[in-house]
Structure 1
Amino acid sequence: MRLKDYLNKKKVEKKRAARKKAAKNAAIGAGVGAAVGITAGVLLAPKSGKETREDIAKNARKAAEVVSENTKKAVDKVSETSKKAVGTIRETINDAKVKIAEIRANKAQDEVAVSEEVSEDASDKEEG
């Protein structure tokens, strides 16, 4: 593996880790926000203990659903972005392979042309 390939691989891994961390932070933020909102609503509502406990249970389930939903969305987005990145990298690699093949073909043609010129010069000298 060449150094450039290794560095590119490390760069892609760092980006992937950063996207995962961002998704995790978004999910945590949504969960904390939901918990704070629920707590404030419960504490400020003038209800009986039983009603308050029921509301807490109901709101806890809602918060869990919201966090789960947001986490799934974040994971999907990270997955989609990773797939796009992999596709872009593959295209870039394929383009580079094509260019390298073209350069090698041109170089081979140039070498053949030079070889033919040398042969012609040698033939002309032998005749002369």
Structure 2
Amino acid sequence: MILRNLLDFVSKEKRKRERVKAAQKFAVGMGVVAAAGVATGILFAPKLGKETRENLKKKAVNTAETIKDTVRKKVKTVNDSAAHAAQEVSNVIKDVHGKTESVKKDIKDGCHEITQDIHKTAENISNELNKAVK
């Protein structure tokens, strides 16, 4: 059951990472399209060449900064998700280890009790045989 939960959790995290990757691709694509649209608009605007180049440079710098900010945010989100997943997996492993130790102890205690019962039974049988022989 715990293994199934762990596999389900990992599967959910994988789907989440895939959605994040898709969102990143979409954001980058939108940035490129926006930059192309701005560049096209500036190039065809009725301004002097020097003004157009300055505007184009400003827009390119702004677009690059926007893309960097978006990528930083997405990387942070992915890192946070990975850290959360690692913590969850660690917790599951600790839980499984604790339960394993508990089962080992129960088996050891049960084995000890069975051994004692066998010795008592053997002693009782021996006593009964001795009484019957006398």
Q: TM-score higher than 0.5 here?
A: yes
Task: Give unpaired runs (5+ residues) of structure 1.
Answer: 1-6
- Please state how far the C-alpha of 1:52 moved relative to its aligned partner: 1.3
- Please state how far the C-alpha of 1:41 moved relative to its aligned partner: 3.5
Distance 2:37 2:109 in 1: 73
Distance 2:103 2:40 in 1: 68
Task: Give unpaired runs (5+ residues) of structure 2.
Answer: 1-6, 129-134
- Please state how far the C-alpha of 1:86 moved relative to its aligned partner: 0.5
Structure 1 residue 57 corresponds to structure 2 residue 57: yes
Question: Structure 1 residues 16 and 85 mapped into 2: Cα distance closer, same or farther (>3 Å)?
Answer: same
Distance 1:32 1:56 in 2: 14
Distance 2:43 2:91 in 1: 56
1:31/1:67 contact within 8 Å kept: yes
Distance 2:94 2:23 in 1: 31
- With normalisation by structure 2, the TM-score equals 0.74
Q: Percent identity between the aligned chains? A: 31
| Root mean square deviation, CA, Å | 3.0
Q: How many residues align?
A: 122
Q: 1:38-53 residue pairs with structure 2 within 5 A?
A: 38-43=38-43, 45-53=45-53
Question: Structure 1 residues 15 and 82 mapped into 2: Cα distance closer, same or farther (>3 Å)?
Answer: farther
- With normalisation by structure 1, the TM-score equals 0.77
2:71 aligned partner, one-letter code:
T
Distance 1:78 1:42 in 2: 36
- Please state how far the C-alpha of 1:18 moved relative to its aligned partner: 4.2
1:16/1:82 contact within 8 Å kept: no
